[in-house]
Structure 1
Amino acid sequence: MKNTIKRTLFGLFCVVMAYVFVSCSNGEPPFIPVVNYTEEGMSSSVNEIPAGTYKIYHLRQKTTGGTNPDDYEQYIYEPKKKFSKASKLSDVAILEPGFSVKTMTLNEDAVYVYYNRNTITYTFNLGDKGSFADGTKTRTVSGLYGSGVLKPARADIVSSDATKYRFSKWRMKDGASVPSGFGADNIDDIVAVWVDPSTITVPEGFVEIPAVSITGSEEWTPYSNIFVSGRKLNIEAFWMSDHEVTRDEYTKIMGSDPSLAAAYDKDGSKLTGAAAGNNPVDYVRWYDAIVYCNKRSIGEGLTPCYTIKGSTDPESWGTVPDSFSFDREWEAAVCDFEADGYRLPTEAEWEWAARGGESYEYAGSDNIDDVAWYGRNTRYTGSWEVKTKKANGYGLYDMSGNVDEWCWDWDRYEGVDSSTPGSGVPSGSDRCLRSGSWFYEASYVQVNRHYNNRPSYRYNTYGFRLVRFAQ
């Protein structure tokens, strides 16, 4: 009996130590909110702490706001800091752009320092060519530092002369893109760019996906993991390729076809060599996709969307990282979503386009065989020619099945929430994939299904589709 108790206690000890080891593996203990302590065990708020040695927890307000202890998250942990004399909040706090020190609390040998995010204001100016629906020329948008910027939507903008000008996009005065998240400083003047619609045509092979304002209160059929409760999004109109990038298109830009999947025509006859050129390219990394986008943009005289190592020219980026390597500079790729070149869709853009203005389980129908090449009707053998199934309501083919399609967004393990900006979370380890493929069962090619993998990983079901900013 004693041995049983000892083994049980030892097992519990091992579990606790394993938890502590995992939690502390990055030099930080697990975050213990102040609310875990009794009122008797801590002072409510102090501006000065007595001389002594303390553990210091620096807690930053989340982008969702709020002033309860649960509305803060651990930022920096100092396991041991000695103060030779009584110290004020200003002696303990760490100054960070975009944050203001709120207060600190004291609990025995631990000090908790709370930082609030500053409220940042951006002003959008339409100039002399139009106004907002309420007749004003400017609009102020505010939010907490680091939260997503919900720019005024095109649908709320009225041209002074609708036959001559159309609102295109918002730009900084120096021509740079408007940040997708609120920076540390106010911006007093973001200007509108206007275009003559008679000079704009939808590129061949693309369709225009209409703009939409999502309030976060809608009910979606099928349900959505992207358009979640409280997540407000303005998806501007954009052009999307009506098909997945083909082997021929990829080879023309990149010089070779990496595809490993077997290829078939619409009748199920196997294709080889040049005959497979109209099948979607596969075995493509996320990094390969953005290299393709910039190379094609440059080749067509368009402004590239992606920047790595301070350059938009893929020739200066070096070797594409493979599945066994990690390259911080490639991980830090940034996108100019309003450049006129080619890019990958965001997850929000992809799902809005896949739904096609309809409420079908698959992209274009509730009958999967009408719209998708998937495991059962491909016999799990390979990809099929693009555009051989029915299109969805927006005229897009193969949005369900054929090959998985890379999206821009970093994957977030916990999923998106009401504070997630339209371009997704700012960092992560995996990038998102949508669509499902020729290798998957029916439930995996629904319009709301989500996948993820390392951007340096490739598989014989991984391809992509292009979008462009609609001018």
Structure 2
Amino acid sequence: MVQIAGGTFRMGSDDPRFHDSQPVHRVTLAGFWMDKYPVTNAQFDRFVAATGYKTVAERPLDPKEFPGVPLDKLVPGAVVFTPPDHAVRLDDVTQWWSYVPKADWRHPEGPTSDLKGRESHPVVQVAYEDAAAYAKWAGKRLPTEAEWEFAARGGLDQKPFVWGNTFAPGGKQMANTFNGDFPYKNTQADGFARTSPVGSFPANAFGLYDMAGNVWQWCSDWYRPDYFSQSPEKNPKGPEDSLDPDEPGVLKRVQKGGSFLCCEAYCARYMPGGRGKGDINTGSSHIGFRCVKDVSP
């Protein structure tokens, strides 16, 4: 882990695409420790071996929660990126996301996939509950959104990227993001079609890796688009409840950092001020996490 000294920074973004990241506001945090990398498949495997834990995607589905669905269709699984072979409208995510039966953290793209050669890749297909369970077992916790963004910025005040002002300085790829025409044509200019081994790209100024791209990372805050207008300055922990006007009945937590699917034309939330949001009961093939720990008094 890396010790992050406490401090004050300007949180959020003035980017007009990120309406829920406004207003930019002053935040002061106590110090904490943060994992140098996202939690890997190998680390999560040790947790499962020690505890027998079953992730949300591996558990039987309750017929009461899916009235009218035939029992033979109630197969555990998860959401997987399934790129089309042609250009599609970017306002319909069902064009590139599919529910795949028996997809889970051991089989990220479905039952015929596995983790061979991906031991050092970040674990994916973890719901919020799964990430929190690992953190508790490890004697840690999930970061608040403010902690995550402060750490990601690495002392760079309101820079658009965790490394500075330019996405690819001197043509150098700084993170695992989508290159090409999303979602159907990935040039893999960064060397990867999906996740990459943690630490494949340069660390930020605090010595943290994968704070942009690769996988989205769960934070402990409930998601509300209006929270920044009412957030306290000192050690904010997020709102008391969740509200996403687009899906008011779905409980969501904040996700940060973007993923291998983010690009300038779609998402672009690999910027530290960008915010993601996720159904707490759903993982996907581009969502992972890292942990933090309080500094002992």
TM superposition score category, shorter chain reference = 0.5 to 0.7
Larger Rg: 1
Give the SS at the match of 1:456.
coil
Q: How many residues align?
A: 210
Is the CA contact (8 Å cut-off) linking 1:235 and 1:349 kept in structure 2?
yes
Is 1:375 aligned with 2:197? no
1:436 to 258, 276, 281: 258
The 2-side partners of 1:220 and 1:286 are apart by 23
Q: Is the 8 A contact 2:217 2:256 kept in 1?
A: yes
Measure the CA separation in 1 of the matches of 2:231 and 2:149: 18
Q: For residue 244 of structure 1, what is the aligned residue in structure 2?
A: 38
Q: Distance in 2 between matches of 1:373 and 1:289?
A: 22
CA deviation string 1:207-244 (max 9, x = no partner):
11121135xxx598776966846x55330111111111
Give the structure with the larger strand fraction.
Answer: 1
Quote how far apart the aligned CAs of 1:470 are: 1.6
> How many angstroms apart in 1 are the aligned matches of 2:41 and 2:262?
21
Asked if 2 retains the 8 angstrom alpha-carbon contact of 1:378 and 1:438, the reply is no
Gapped regions of structure 1 (runs ≥ 5): 1-205, 263-270, 298-341
Q: Give the corresponding residue for 2:154.
A: 356
CA displacement at 1:397 relative to structure 2: 0.7
Shift of 1:296: 2.1
CA distance in 2, matches of 1:436, 1:409: 16
- Structure-2 separation of matches of 1:292 and 1:209: 21
Match of 1:424 in 2: 238
- Root-mean-square deviation (Å): 2.8
TM (norm. structure 2) is 0.63
| Residues in 2 aligned to 1:394 and 1:411: alpha-carbon distance in whole angstroms | 26
Whole-angstrom distance in 2 between the partners of 1:413 and 1:220: 12
How far apart, CA to CA, are the structure 2 residues paired with 1:259 and 1:438?
19
Q: 1:413 offset after TM fit, Å? A: 3.0
The residue aligned with 1:158 is none
Tell which has more relative contact order, 1 or 2 (C-alpha 8 A, sep 6+): 2
CA distance, structure 2, for counterparts of residue 226 and residue 392 of structure 1: 21
Distance 1:446 1:467, change over 3 A: same
> Quick one: percent identity of the two aligned structures?
26
Rounded to whole Å, the distance in 2 between the matches of 1:222 and 1:355 is: 15
CA contact (8 A) 2:37 2:208 kept: yes
Q: How many Å separate the matches in 1 of 2:275 and 2:12?
A: 16
Equivalent residue runs for 1:39-438 within 5 Å: 206-214=1-9, 228=23, 233-255=27-49, 258-261=105-108, 273-297=115-139, 342-359=140-157, 360-365=159-164, 366-368=166-168, 369-376=172-179, 377=189, 381-420=193-232, 422-428=236-242, 429-438=251-260
Partner of 2:274: 449
**Residue 292 of structure 2 aligns to which amino acid in structure 1?**
V
Gaps of 5+ in 2: 55-103, 180-188, 243-250
Distance verdict in 2 for CA 1:457–1:237, change over 3 Å: same
Q: How many Å separate the matches in 1 of 2:161 and 2:260?
A: 14
Distance in 1, Cα, partners of 2:151 & 2:129: 23
- Whole-Å Cα distance in 1 between the matches of residues 161 and 136 of structure 2? 31
* d(CA) in 2 for partners of 1:219, 1:273: 36
Cα 1:388/1:411, change in 2 over 3 Å: same
Aligned in 2, Cα 1:450/1:460: closer, same or farther, shift over 3 Å?
same
Q: Distance in 1 between matches of 2:207 and 2:174?
A: 12
1:272 is displaced (CA, Å) by 6.0
